[in-house]
Chain A
Amino acid sequence: GEKVEQHESTLSVREGDSAVINCTYTDTASSYFPWYKQEAGKSLHFVIDIRSNVDRKQSQRLIVLLDKKAKRFSLHITATQPEDSAIYFCAASIRSNYQLIWGSGTKLIIKP
């Protein structure tokens, strides 16, 4: 079945630097790629997504890149702040209203 792999289980960056979290997927039919954030002791919430008709999307300090040839997508957080510390989950599905396949999560630590 389809898999989504999230390569970094933990990522530590200094405050103000950029953080990059990478995911790969196996199903070439995947076309929708959302990212969710889970802060300590809290539930998940949506942060940004990208569809296969574009290769880049930005929302404030968040940038998502999609490389369909490599079946890879990544979340870039620029000018990191302490409140960016959380677990970030990537996911993929063959269309936006279809079942999501989830990555295993990346714990992002922002060091002062």
Chain B
Amino acid sequence: ETAVFQTPNYHVTQVGNEVSFNCKQTLGHDTMYWYKQDSKKLLKIMFSYNNKQLIVNETVPRRFSPQSSDKAHLNLRIKSVEPEDSAVYLCASSSWGSSQNTLYFGAGTRLSVL
């Protein structure tokens, strides 16, 4: 049963454009994440938000910025895309304070930069 919803599923754009990806979770979790999965399937944590506070911000390029309106939503904006940004972006959520911090992932947004 899907509980982490991502839009769009796919996005094709050109170098230099701005893109935004949306993520919503209906699990009542207090923490949300953005991961990047490259063509080799490697996972890289980009951001995580806990109760609207950024708690992890890995060394990602400054053109990436997370945006959260409430604990159920975490969007990702890329200000000026580069070819190396082509990847699948996975949103996830979890309950930070629980004894088992299981991540629930969305279906992903596949970005292709031409």
Chain A residues packing against B (C-beta within 8 Å): 32, 34, 36, 38, 42-46, 49, 87, 89, 93, 96-100, 102, 104-105
Contact = CB atoms under 8 A, between A and B. Distances in A.
Contact of A87 (B41, B97, B103): B41
A49 B100 CA distance: 9
B12 interface: no
Contacts of A32: 101
Contact of A46 (B48, B56, B103): B103
B90 A43 contact: yes
A96 B101 contact: yes
Contacts of A98: 101
A99 B58 CA distance: 11
A105 B41 contact: yes
Interface of B: 40-43, 45, 48, 56, 90, 92, 96-108
A68 to B, nearest CB: 20
A66 to B, nearest CB: 16
B3 to A, nearest CB: 11
B107 A42 contact: yes
For the complex of A and B, list the 9 residue pairs with the smallest distance between their C-beta atoms, beginning with the closest.
A43-B105, A97-B101, A44-B105, A102-B43, A46-B102, A96-B101, A105-B41, A43-B107, A97-B96
